[in-house]
Structure 1
Amino acid sequence: MSFQVMELVYQLKLPTNRKFVLVTLAKFASDDGSRVFPSVATVARLCGLATRTVQRCLKSLVMSRILVIGSHEKGGRHPRVYAIDLQRVRDLLGSKREAGQKGDNHDSGHHQETDDSVSHQSYARGDTSALINNEGGDDQRLRDDTEAVQGCQSLSPDSSGIVINKRETTRDKDDTNHTQFGSADWAECQEMLATQFGQQDYNSWIKLLCFKEYAGGVIYLKVPSRFISDYVREHFQLGLQETLGLHVQIDH
């Protein structure tokens, strides 16, 4: 896993589902962005999206020349190979910065970033032979497919943490008098969290959460960067809510 690749990809201003797919592909990348080969089913499971939604996102990225198809191998054991066009990325980022500077000079106050902005090169192989025709309605279908998202919320790159709504559990019923939650309790939760999220996601993400304090009915956790804080919120919020049954705030 390369956090460098993931963080660069995460900076893009893309529709939520499309960004989830790109970040998930980057999750499997080496430091040079190569050797990425998750299947559509794997990406769909990690993003909490329907497989058809993932297929449409991939096709949209190809049509916008962000993803380049490197091969057309067929068969269950021969996944399709993709690459992210680094020169295309640089051109898009350069245009975006120039437009932003012009907007500031004219006191426009806002800059609409293109839907195709990316920030790194990687190579992705995926089981995507079933990509469907997407002409004329991709954006609308992507909006419709947001109902299929499981545990994913809209991205908020400027947010420094997350708060998870409290869900009534056995712990809640026993904690009506504000029982303290300490670092020892957090340590005891690790096995439960590993079971909930799976060993791979636990080692890659959940294990990075460090207990800071418990105050006012909220567990405060700390992570190394804003990127990790945002990623955990987008991908693991529902699971944390169901597993801990407590308010959780994550700061970097």
Structure 2
Amino acid sequence: MIKFDDIYQIALNHKGSINEIEYDLPASLDSKSFLEIPDDRWLANMTMCIFQAGFVWRVIRNKWPDFEIAFSKFHPRYWAQVPPEVLEALAKDTRIVRNAQKINTVPLNAQFILDTQKTHGTFSAWVNHFEDDNLHGLYQELKDRGSRLGGNSAMYLMRMTGKDTYLFSNDVVSALIREKVIDKNPTSKKAKAAVNEAFCTWKQQSGRSFGEISRILAMTVWNE
């Protein structure tokens, strides 16, 4: 498998300077700050990622203050047992995007958060117990136990909330295929495990975060 130094050199050839590579690389939170994220922020970020999926992100971001009001700051214990009539009213609420299917994910994901509290105390602690070599396991759990938290939505959720992660952007996937880590878009558990293993190897070689490696890997792909 290609070494990280060689990945960096390809990116450098494309971007032209180290400054162009190093500028605005993604950052993640330190462990203490990450563990302090309250569970209502996890439910809010889950909901934002779900509403952004397949939609214009700018619209959701612009409406987000009204989402916070409409969803009463996303307290999981309330939303896990919210009356059906509240959800029905939200599906008609012009302050938010009126997508009933996405609105209905909120109580399901609130219950998911409460379930992780039983075993780990907080959702952040539950996320944090997944080691680097099992990041793909975290994403499988989010897909299996959450509502609409599979695929890129889960990865963007982690990136948004400060967890160090790689992303399956088109450029990253193209680079992984080019380097024969995978042979197509990684949808199977085997392919996702292979990607996780590759990123762990590059992290050991470089001392960089998954987020940095992911962005630099994307820079190795030409965009005409």
When the two structures are superposed, what TM-score results if normalisation uses the length of structure 2? 0.24
Question: As a proportion of its length, which structure holds more helix?
Answer: 2
Question: As a proportion of its length, which structure holds more strand?
Answer: 1
When the two structures are superposed, what TM-score results if normalisation uses the length of structure 1? 0.23
Whose Rg is larger?
Answer: 1
